[in-house]
Structure 1
């Protein structure tokens, strides 16, 4: 595509300014915003009525941003960050808490990722926006709802359900870097009691790297195929059955690091980031009893993951003091969940009709088998990790008066884990964990809610797989997180403006912090060995604010702001008194959408982020940035066409950073190395609706 980005930016901004000038001259009527329903809780509830800090991204925003993966949307949520070290962001951090990578050690995630009832927390590379309806990001521990996998928060992805009438779409995207994406979805009734929805996507791109040694521009490519099928069955007047099948085949390249910290590599063995996932989920909803609704759910996923990279980043013979090494990880992950949940029906409230209730039983089982092949290992490293959890939980929502609602929740979870490897290391743990929440809402009027919240989450302890670690670092303890939060949610100007704001303080007890040892290779260069340890003290506090404002039929504004201050304290650690990794002090998004009439539309937004530490084990930082994104298009009832651009000023961003010696030209002196984020991208998307 031979577009001049500077001209594209100028023309889009000019259209936006003209539209804004016209819109403010229009009449002063206010226009109500649609209600957003949150589905992550025990009952569906309006976003403005949920007493916690959360972000909801609906299908319109997903479409506007031309989002392909969860990483394309995560910056819209205040105080939420992500890290890569692969072809996609696989690890997410909320309020400074979350994993950044995985090598030989098993991990229990701090941020849960659920897609259509399927736990994707350890296979986040497949968190795709295929036919997505809504993404919900819940900040703070979700101890009652989801337990150990949601210490820092939860990301819930929902795709479109079967519909009672036949609807669908076909969409194609062409963009720079040979980006080609084709997706399609269709759904409707099979008969009076069965509906279906199927969706498919093929996504290909050469990626942003030039390999000068191999004379290729696709060694960091994207090659993904995804499929989802859904059935909704009205088995009887009282019973609804929802079935979901999901398949992802990801065969991406991984050639992202350069000794010169640019997008030009010299590797002779470019890496890969592969994932094949098959998953099933079943949910039943039974309303045949006057006192409660009975929900059951089952899910199972089987993922084969292979992640490998050229460790020296250059070709054999690059330097007389050089070395040659390749590191490869194959994992077989299997996850199964089962849940039974009872939710009170209207009229069955407790305590003189003042208190609705929900209770349930949850089972989780995961196995992860690893085979690591590494140049400097005589034999493959083999490990097995199994964990299972059984939980019982309950929640009460009590109307104390016309204006006050008290929510109390409790979850008790029994966790068992076993680890073994062919180095002779083994470990087992057996823990009883307790989490929950207490929230008090004050309903000032129909447009204003204030709340106060105390919640407690947990993350199980574990075992470090590195056999060379000293005895005191072999195991690490369970982490608990206390979250104290106050906030308000308000609708203004006849519901044309919606705002939410939250202030929080979080105290981490026995915070799990990742460290690493850097070991010199026999042939040169260095290897990383990760481990987890507990720090003496850790806390964070900050602010999260979001707003949506429909000024009139022509102009809609939106924005978000996250302010975050974190501290880690441990007198024996390098990070003592320092901010936690992946914790920028501020994040923001501000933008506008314009409806020009007669089918024409445009939009512009800016997303920004402060500097942050890449790791808790060294002092290297990212750089602050502000990215400009824009779009302009034409839409009818049956089709639309959008010209879009991301990072239009072509700023460098960083999705991962390390500090070690890998360059023989400087004697393997420790150096900051970074994986660059996406440069400027421009594309065109066409969508046909039927």
Structure 2
């Protein structure tokens, strides 16, 4: 079957599946109605915990998505990347064993190699700052994932210019609860987890979770004759203690350990899931982290809230840079040129020690909804990152040390206006000092002052629907490029700023059985930090990989879009849900070295990218599905997710294909146990998650430049068994 026929077959099967969903929904609804009329059930209240005050999702005046534990379970998701497509205008990139770099509304990093990065999307797990190291975002016992879109300048500062992802695990329970789960799936995938929770005394509760995920992965290596060159091996432990010594004081203690020892062999010379590497790479991470949170009612007027967290992470990321083996030109016909020694051989390995400590102290007023509310706080963050790079063509290992210290003052006022009206204003002032040195004698010590904030106007209509408009400002610290081969004007880059303007509506109907959230936004970016490449002037022609990555500032860019989320409980049998993200983004003024690598004998020539789409910013993204509670014990879930094509980078023209993925689950559950059969990407769609363009790496065609891709998960079918006690 050729690719066109395969694509048509997949779309036909997808259409048939959607028609089946509609037929099943209609049939079950009619059957339920004929049995006995029922009123729609009220959907449970969803609380957002990431803000200064815990708030119900429909009282939260910003665009936000909450992915609950049921969605994580129904997808049999083991990592954040496997549920992110349910949130509109949220994307991720691979180039590793997992999608560990995130983008919101087209803004966010896509990789990290030599240089330290200033993340655009914050990642918090149980109060622990794991920004920039998304490999630790496993979903063991995660109860909800909160995604706040748009700059969180007041709340979180420089590392959340695009938005914030907040992962919250389960809380200790008042009575003993236990759960054990086992899972088996294709590609020798095995999962196991256990959760124990309960009280120690009237004032002390605990929760402990442990989980393991192993898999051979879905890559094969034809040269080595193995099928586990991209294996998954992840272990996670979580622990929580909650202590309430008196009515005014609450202590929360959290511990996290994540051990990742995954393989990485993601790119193939033939652009397939079969590689020819003789030294497959790896993607490893060991994180030991913890947090302590205090909430103390200092007086009747306000609470003191303090949060201290520390995360220690050892990361190792390496790969076979040539994607081949030494005898490739013996087994295949290679195109030989005099200037190149065929074939070149190279590996690249990055070892990082990342230490991150943060302290946040705030005073939060205790007030009724119709009274003035306020928050004031101070913040401190200290991060160090030591790098050792081991690369074949380096004259000795490359070493660097990078230290940053951030301090911030912030405040927010919640002002009640006339009946049904309210105004929220927030401001954050942040200073950042950094020190960088490396073994190439590069040294930088930038220091800068930044500010952000928001102004939001809210209105509650007579039906208790929320209307809001807001303007918010985010920022991301400037930085530097360590390579001494770059011209002096490319060695440093400036702070990026983002203005976000948003209009939104959140409403409920039919006693809460129908819920809808809509947001329209426009974003204006100045001094966009974006990746570029130049051919290394020291390239002697023996290695096609000799080029220098660097970050520069595009003058400006903009984005406009829409986010829609809705779910409806039609009756006691059928619940439907949908999300849609629309995004129109572009560079407004940008000269890019987009054709680097096309001809290494010619100097780099800039290309005007004004009007060009931003990378990892698909113009549409959607998820739609239905949940069927068929009987007291049987249930089924069917969903389709998809997104438009998008560019992988601002330095080449490689794009993904648009795609749609069909996922489903059928299960039987009781109070004591549950068994389910599930499948992801049931039509076996071939889609790309990372790509390179204008890149030559194949000696069989003389290292001619062409695009290369890493592919997403193929069809995977599995079974889960859960016991509750």
What band does the TM-score fall into relative to the shorter chain?
over 0.9
- The SS at the match of 1:596 is coil
How many angstroms does 1:15 deviate by?
Answer: 7.7
Q: Which residue of 2 aligns with 1:531?
A: 550
- The SS at the match of 1:510 is strand
Q: Which residue of 2 aligns with 1:41?
A: 51
How many angstroms does 1:64 deviate by?
Answer: 1.1
Q: Which residue of 1 aligns with 2:635?
A: 601
Specify which of 329, 332, 348 is matched with residue 327 of structure 1. Answer: 348
1:551 aligns with 2:570: yes
Q: Which residue of 1 aligns with 2:626?
A: 592
- The SS at the match of 2:40 is coil
Q: Which residue of 1 aligns with 2:125?
A: 115
1:7-29 deviation line (CA, Å, top 9, x unaligned)? 99989985873353131351362
Q: Which residue of 1 aligns with 2:407?
A: 390
Sort the Cα spacing of 1:154 and 1:521 in 2 relative to 1 into closer, same or farther, 3 A: farther
Contact kept in structure 1, 2:21 and 2:626, CA below 8 Å = no
1:651 aligns with 2:661: no
Sort the Cα spacing of 1:19 and 1:571 in 2 relative to 1 into closer, same or farther, 3 A: closer
d(CA) in 1 for partners of 2:438, 2:310: 25
How many angstroms does 1:570 deviate by?
Answer: 2.9
Q: Which residue of 2 aligns with 1:133?
A: 143
1:336-393 deviation line (CA, Å, top 9, x unaligned)? 000111110136x9xxx73111111110110000000100001111011111110111
Q: Which residue of 2 aligns with 1:24?
A: 30
d(CA) in 1 for partners of 2:120, 2:184: 36
Specify which of 702, 719, 725 is matched with residue 684 of structure 1. Answer: 719
How do 1:188-199 and structure 2 match up within 5 A? 188-199=198-209
d(CA) in 2 for partners of 1:371, 1:571: 33
d(CA) in 2 for partners of 1:546, 1:126: 28
- The SS at the match of 2:630 is strand
Aligned length: 682
Q: Which residue of 2 aligns with 1:171?
A: 181
d(CA) in 1 for partners of 2:56, 2:529: 35
How do 1:165-564 and structure 2 match up within 5 A? 165-319=175-329, 321-346=342-367, 354-519=371-536, 522-564=541-583
- The SS at the match of 1:536 is strand
d(CA) in 2 for partners of 1:598, 1:177: 33
1:62-85 deviation line (CA, Å, top 9, x unaligned)? 111111111011111111100010
Please identify, of 231-240 and 302-311, the stretch whose mean Cα deviation from structure 2 is larger.
231-240
Q: Which residue of 1 aligns with 2:337?
A: none
Sort the Cα spacing of 1:254 and 1:291 in 2 relative to 1 into closer, same or farther, 3 A: same
Contact kept in structure 1, 2:556 and 2:590, CA below 8 Å = no
- The SS at the match of 1:576 is coil
- The SS at the match of 1:48 is helix
d(CA) in 2 for partners of 1:73, 1:527: 37
Normalised TM-score (structure 1): 0.96
1:602-656 deviation line (CA, Å, top 9, x unaligned)? 0100001000001000111100001111110101011111100000000111111
1:581 aligns with 2:615: yes
Contact kept in structure 2, 1:12 and 1:631, CA below 8 Å = no
d(CA) in 2 for partners of 1:598, 1:13: 25
d(CA) in 1 for partners of 2:278, 2:225: 10
d(CA) in 1 for partners of 2:444, 2:380: 22
How many angstroms does 1:589 deviate by?
Answer: 0.4
- The SS at the match of 1:104 is coil
How many angstroms does 1:571 deviate by?
Answer: 4.9
Please identify, of 91-100 and 507-516, the stretch whose mean Cα deviation from structure 2 is larger.
507-516
d(CA) in 1 for partners of 2:321, 2:21: 48
Q: Which residue of 2 aligns with 1:69?
A: 79
d(CA) in 2 for partners of 1:224, 1:32: 38
Contact kept in structure 1, 2:425 and 2:456, CA below 8 Å = yes
Please identify, of 674-683 and 565-574, the stretch whose mean Cα deviation from structure 2 is larger.
565-574
d(CA) in 2 for partners of 1:566, 1:7: 32
How many angstroms does 1:300 deviate by?
Answer: 0.5
Contact kept in structure 2, 1:503 and 1:543, CA below 8 Å = yes
How many angstroms does 1:297 deviate by?
Answer: 0.8
Contact kept in structure 2, 1:458 and 1:479, CA below 8 Å = yes
d(CA) in 2 for partners of 1:654, 1:535: 26
Sort the Cα spacing of 1:654 and 1:7 in 2 relative to 1 into closer, same or farther, 3 A: closer
d(CA) in 2 for partners of 1:18, 1:429: 61
- The SS at the match of 1:623 is coil
d(CA) in 2 for partners of 1:8, 1:689: 35
d(CA) in 2 for partners of 1:130, 1:51: 29
1:638 aligns with 2:650: no
d(CA) in 1 for partners of 2:149, 2:25: 35
1:109-166 deviation line (CA, Å, top 9, x unaligned)? 0000000000111211010101001100000000000000100000000000111111
d(CA) in 2 for partners of 1:261, 1:38: 42
Specify which of 45, 59, 64 is matched with residue 69 of structure 2. Answer: 59
d(CA) in 2 for partners of 1:493, 1:7: 34
Q: Which residues of structure 1 form unaligned runs of 5+?
A: none
d(CA) in 2 for partners of 1:7, 1:325: 43
d(CA) in 2 for partners of 1:22, 1:163: 36
Q: Which residues of structure 2 form unaligned runs of 5+?
A: 1-9, 335-341, 593-606
Contact kept in structure 2, 1:118 and 1:279, CA below 8 Å = yes
d(CA) in 2 for partners of 1:420, 1:185: 44
Contact kept in structure 2, 1:12 and 1:630, CA below 8 Å = no
Specify which of 581, 585, 600 is matched with residue 566 of structure 1. Answer: 585
Normalised TM-score (structure 2): 0.92
Specify which of 602, 614, 623 is matched with residue 657 of structure 2. Answer: 623
d(CA) in 2 for partners of 1:521, 1:603: 57
Sort the Cα spacing of 1:588 and 1:241 in 2 relative to 1 into closer, same or farther, 3 A: same
Sort the Cα spacing of 1:590 and 1:12 in 2 relative to 1 into closer, same or farther, 3 A: closer
